[in-house]
Amino acid sequence: MTHKYISNTSQLFDVCQYKLSGGKSDGVSAIDIWNGANLHFTVLPDRGFDIYTVRYKNRNMSFLTPSGVVAPAFYNDVNAKWLRSFGGGFLCTCGLQNIGNTDNTDSDLSLHGRISNTPAENVCVDIANDGMTATLSGVMREAVIFGANLTLKRSITCKQGCDVIEFCDTITNAGYKREPLSVLYHFNIGFPLLSENAIPFIPAVTTLPRNKHAEEDIENWRAVYPPSDDFEEMCYYHFLSENIVGIDNPDINTSVRIAFESSDGFLDRVVQWRMFGSGNYVMGLEPASCTLEGRKDAIANGSQKYINAQSSVVNRFKISFGDFIDVK
């Protein structure tokens, strides 16, 4: 009966495709979704089909770097120059051949991999017949002759009136030999969702520091500090009792939960990135498949994962936004 009040379903649920213009973002494809309720977000098919801005009740949820959106043509995979095209965003996917640092044992590997700078093929925006559900999909290809032949197919779904984003990644080894596979989902929480009164939700059973600097503050890994001019980033590996992380902030009456599942426990840890620097104020909640010190180290510590020839790994996520509930 609702449809009798309208002649265009965009009054209740809207999807808009366009291209960015100007600067290093020129020509980048974007898709906006407004769910007709409290949620508005932007997907960038040319940047690994990642989720860039997310706004809930007109408040920003994402951390955005000063680089902004950078077209993949500007990507430089030498050493740490990945950072020059890292726009942050709510989700930046890392992999598929490497996550974290490189250890210089393989010159073909790069910081956090190439997938977030890879444009999608076969992009599709499918709107249900009632105009109230959108499914976005595309395929990223990471392949080279005489090397790995991997694809990542992503499907993102949002429904009218439901403050939830769901997506499914199917990573396939289209080649004919077993390949190393490393993936990290770099969810970046920014102000005002992140502030010193925010409370991380991480049901950790075991927590390990990434380095000695992080170990110095391991007892306070839940703490969120005000911005500091000289803050040095800290990372922790969390092994969870259940595959769900998030953040609560009573200041803006908002809670976010990121639930995930993966084939055969492929995503077996969450990296927490604490960076409370002035102007670089972010917390990363990052389901990951291995450690971050290079492939050689991951093999040595037993965390490196592999994908067999002609097989797939499936990772599913449900991101929910809602009002803050104090459980104390």
Phi, psi of 22 (to 5 degrees): 100, 145
* pLDDT at 117 (0 to 100): 97
User: What are the structural domains of the chain?
Assistant: 9-322 (2.70.98.10)
* pLDDT at 78 (0 to 100): 85
* pLDDT at 77 (0 to 100): 87
* pLDDT at 327 (0 to 100): 59
**Which residue type occupies 162?**
C
And the tokens for 181?
């596979």
Does the pTM of the predicted model rise above 0.85? yes
* pLDDT at 4 (0 to 100): 87
DSSP-derived pairing of the beta strands 121-127 and 91-96: unpaired
Per-residue pLDDT of the chain (328 residues; tens, 9 = 90+): 567 899 999 999 999 999 999 999 999 999 999 999 999 999 999 999 999 999 999 999 999 999 999 999 999 988 789 999 999 999 999 999 999 998 766 678 889 999 999 999 999 999 998 889 999 999 999 999 999 999 999 999 999 999 999 999 999 999 999 999 999 999 999 999 999 999 999 999 999 999 999 999 999 999 999 999 999 999 999 999 999 999 999 999 999 999 999 999 999 999 999 999 999 999 999 999 999 999 999 999 999 999 999 999 999 999 999 999 775 5
